[in-house]
Chains A and B, each alone.
Chain A
Amino acid sequence: MDSYNKVEYLEKKAKELRKTIIDMIYHAQSGHPGGSLSIADIVTALYFDELNIDPKNPKWEERDRVILSKGHVCPAIYGALAMKEYFPYEEIYTLRKINSRLQGHPDMKKTPGLDMTTGSLGQGLSVGVGMAIAAKFDKKPYRTFVILGDGELQEGQVWEAAMSAAKYKLDNLIAFVDVNNLQVDGCCDDIMSVKPIVPKWKDFGWEVFEIDGHNMEAIVKTLEEIKNVKGKPICIVMNTIKGKGVSYMEGVCKWHGQAPNTEEYNIAIEEIMR
């Protein structure tokens, strides 16, 4: 696929993923749409292009790993896994319900294709460090991708992990920071600012890229560029819009953890598929 067609293909898949996210949260009448939509583009680029994975063999030892450190936005990952046929697509309608394999926050022991259990913020990057160390020790080429939120950077453990990744020169570890500027109680800058974000990661010894997290062309190009980085962990700071793709959710704090009603659902689907 040439790069123009690839971007177009991924943009189409990102729409499908956004629709799936809204579908499952609407049916669950519970979940976190805002942050799921802000990471939908990077998740699409990973699962439909970048990752070396085999949906028929979710535990394949050589696979690339993904850790959703901001675990509450798991509808984005569940959607991608469903679209990749890790499990029957209809299962998305069981999200957050009793006896479901799709827990409210990611459970690696229940959902095929999940590489780590997360949901308590701040813990994922450390786990990624452990996986990346193991890959180096085993001389295996797989990479570990960790998705963090900007509010999550308030957790001290993230910076403990950042230090250790640089110490061990983990160029097989890639952290994405989803800078959607909002957290549960309000704007990150009002609650506890973590800015400036790019210099922080640079100072901690990471190779840092800053992109528009909704520009598929930029995402694809950056995922290529990072392959040249040697001897340092990689951080991709993505400027995003919480709720991206649904006008009334964009940049509105209350859509962090609220499900749409029927009217809102219909508007959301119409806007996404437009």
Chain B
Amino acid sequence: MEKKGTRDAFGEVLCELGRENDKIFVIDADISASTKTTKFYELFPDRAFDIGIAEQNAAGIAAGLATTGKIPFISTYAVFGSMRMLEQIRTSICYPNLNAKIAVSHGGLTPGNDGPTHQAIEDFGIMRSIPNMTVIMPGDYYAVKKLVRKAAEMYGPVYLRFTRDSIPVIYTPEDEFEIGKGKRIKEGNDISIIAIGDMVYAALQAAEKLNEMGISAEVIDMHTLKPLDADIVKEAIDKTGKIITVEDHNIINGLGSAISEVVAETGKGIVRRVGINDTFAESGEYTLLLEKYGLDSNNIVIKAKEILRL
């Protein structure tokens, strides 16, 4: 299975966008090599600002640029992009609904060996509770290319989350994505697995394993956490009535919670959530962490059996 870097895709598409539109600006906080914006600096030095280790200032500068019609991308890690500059995002960007984008690598457990200080497992919940904010995590390299472009084209603040480690390629360059529309990538009738970001691949793997056991699972890539595609969730409720959510995030307040809200309001259907069980993880290789903390296809299969009472 081929793996490709989602942050590399971000760096590449940012350069494409920069070439097409001189309103695209980039603001980094000392980690441009890591968030893959260095090429943008070489190509467009007068639109790239490394403002040092000062994330709050980064958010404010982005807000100021956005008031003048620029489209700034703040580029940092998910922990800093969602928490160190949270109030600035909330008050200076989202409240006045300014057209600034917060693009973060190192989402979820993907910073692996850097440990819990650098693993962002709270950011989905934080970001989705801010009015005017759109929250997206693409499922692979090609999805990043398309969704970053869509985020640049739409008006308003967007939180875009990527991974540190490369993740399996599941799409082709021809696949299309629409912000706010979940993508059904495998059909199935018995159970619905709804996943986001780096967990979409695990969901596909689990669906295969279930298939071998004679269980037909559909897989939905819910790349946009907010606005959530409630229609596709309701379709899943009507078709299978049994939903498993999978996310590289705390089990509280992320995708599982968002989908449970829809399910609860329809009054039918069952949900099981796969995510980090409200705990800080630890240092370690990313894939081993996924296994240890239950974010893998085996755990999805266990949850599927539970829900199907097998």
Contacts and interface: CB of A to CB of B under 8 A. Distances in A.
Interface stretch (A88-96, A122-130, A174-182): A122-130
A51 interface: no
A161 interface: yes
A130 B64 contact: yes
- Size class of the contact patch on chain B: 20 to 34
B63 A127 contact: yes
A133 B57 contact: no
Contacts of B51: 160, 164, 167
Contacts, number: 108
A156 B55 CA distance: 11
B279 interface: no
A130 B47 contact: no
B49 interface: yes
Interface in A48-104: 61, 65
A164 B67 CA distance: 18
Interface string B39-67: 00000001101011010110111111111
Interface stretch (B5-13, B85-93, B217-225): B85-93
A161 B68 contact: no
Nearest to A158: B57
B97 A134 contact: no
B171 interface: no
Q: How large is the interface on A (under 10, 10 to 19, 20 to 34, 35 or more residues)?
A: 35 or more
Contacts of A115: 67
A254 B158 CA distance: 41
B226 interface: no
A109 B97 CA distance: 9
A160 B56 contact: yes
Contacts of A65: 67
B95 interface: yes
A239 interface: no
Given A117-B95, A123-B92, A130-B60, A164 B54 contact: yes
Contacts of B54: 157, 160, 163-164
A157 B60 contact: yes
B70 interface: yes
Nearest to A122: B56
A109 B46 CA distance: 29
Contacts of B131: none
- Which 3 pairs between the two chains have the least Cβ-Cβ distance? A130-B64, A126-B60, A160-B57
Interface of B: 46-47, 49, 51-52, 54, 56-57, 59-70, 72, 87-88, 91-92, 95-97
13 contacts: A108-B96, A116-B64, A120-B87, A123-B60, A126-B59, A126-B61, A128-B64, A129-B61, A130-B65, A130-B66, A130-B72, A133-B49, A157-B57
